[in-house]
Amino acid sequence: MPQLDEQRFFILDKVHSDLKKISIIHPYIENRYDEISSGKYPKNHLWGIDALSNLSNTSIKIIECPSLSIHPLLEKLINRFLFKNNSSIDIEIAALKASKTSDLIYSVSGPLGLSRFYKKSCKLISWVFRIPETTYGCLFHPYSKHNLVHYSGFCCLTKNCYVDFKNYGQSQFIPWYIDMELFCPDNSRTNHKKGFFLATGKTRRDYKTFIRACEHLDVEVRIIAPNSQRPTILPSNIKWFDSSNNPPDKAISYSTLRDWYDECLAVCIPLEDDEEDTCGYTNMLEAMSMRKPVLMTKSGCLDINPKKNGFGLLINPYDYNGWSTAMNKLANNPHICSEMGMRGQNLVKEKYNGTLFNQRITDFVGLILYNGKKSSVI
């Protein structure tokens, strides 16, 4: 990975006024650039901003989103009733200010609710993860149709999103990817200890069903999740690791997580029943890159299927017997684990790699920035 150039990222070049000015809204990556450059933090969390710096005749700036000097309770109420917690007032104000001096805003954090007030000549591209909503419940809902018509383009994480968002602006389906340099199996490990199942993640997880499935399993299970989702009593074979703090790697470092991926039998992703949810996507790709089978609740949204593609098994929502059966099958058949893991890793190498992702990002942003007309699915 090329070293990230802080001068390139953080300073708009005021000397070259003919450059197209791109402002990046990505508040969750602040202070992580050194870790990314040193291989300690996944570079897929850059969401392509490193690639955007290679666009010709452009100047890139990461917009800082400092907390506003208002009472925390008032800020919470504003975020709830103005933006329905899909965005926050500090991000919205920072983006609004940036629009006055930018040619294009690239929002990694999703749609922004104040887009109707941006400078007319400023183009706006956002990542989108769900289809638009028809009921809003707040004044400036970022996903409302009244807001989306002010966008120039959408980077769609799923084909479902693409089908809907192309009605509001130029859209591109861009599959997610994983940092295969960080999530790389240690081939020197020849004799693993007795394996365990690993479950990690906190958004829309169904650990209640999953834990019930594990009660009579004769294998260790490790869960990395917030304590708010932890039951009072855990079965003796389950070890819980609290990830309540943000960022989640404060609980388990990525180097430790990689070791656990390497040692586990399979990765489990128990989800709530939401057909439009993309939760679990990153965990799935991490497991595949680490050559591990994936056990996952069925999702009607993701464009990659563990069962169909042969790298895992799918379980019906809230089906604890299905989870138990799937876990026992893999625990008793290591050769199946090995075959599934290899298929998953090969698929990541072929279709979910950083080179493809970054090329798709630069092509699409360049198209919007320089007034292209094409809208397509890759």
pLDDT tens digits along 282-327: 999 999 999 999 999 997 667 889 999 999 999 999 999 999 999 9
Six-digit token pair at 276? 């439009």
Six-digit token pair at 259? 């070791």
Total count of residues recorded for the chain? 378
Six-digit token pair at 296? 């996952």
Q: What is the pLDDT of residues 327-349, one digit of tens each?
A: 999 999 999 999 999 999 999 99
Q: What is the pLDDT of residue 133?
A: 64
Q: What is the pLDDT of residue 141?
A: 79
pTM metric for this prediction: 0.88
Exposure string for 87-102, b = 16+ CB within 10 A, e = fewer: bbbbbbebbbebbeeb
Which helix (H) or strand (E) segment holds residue 313: the answer is strand 312-315
Six-digit token pair at 286? 């991490």
**145 close to 168: Cβ distance less than 8 angstroms:** yes
Q: What is the pLDDT of residues 122-150, one digit of tens each?
A: 999 999 987 766 655 667 878 888 888 88
What dotted CATH number matches 197-351? 3.40.50.2000
- The verdict on whether omega for the bond into residue 42 sits within 30 degrees of 0, i.e. cis, is no
Taking the alpha carbons at both ends of the chain, their separation in whole angstroms is 24
Topology match between the domains 6-177+353-377 and 197-351: yes
What are the boundaries of each domain within the chain?
Answer: 6-177+353-377, 197-351
Q: Considering the domain 6-177+353-377, what is its CATH architecture?
A: 3-Layer(aba) Sandwich (3.40)
Q: What share of the chain is helix, strand, coil (3-state, %, to 5)?
A: 35, 15, 50
> CA-CA distance, 96 to 117, in Å (whole number)?
7
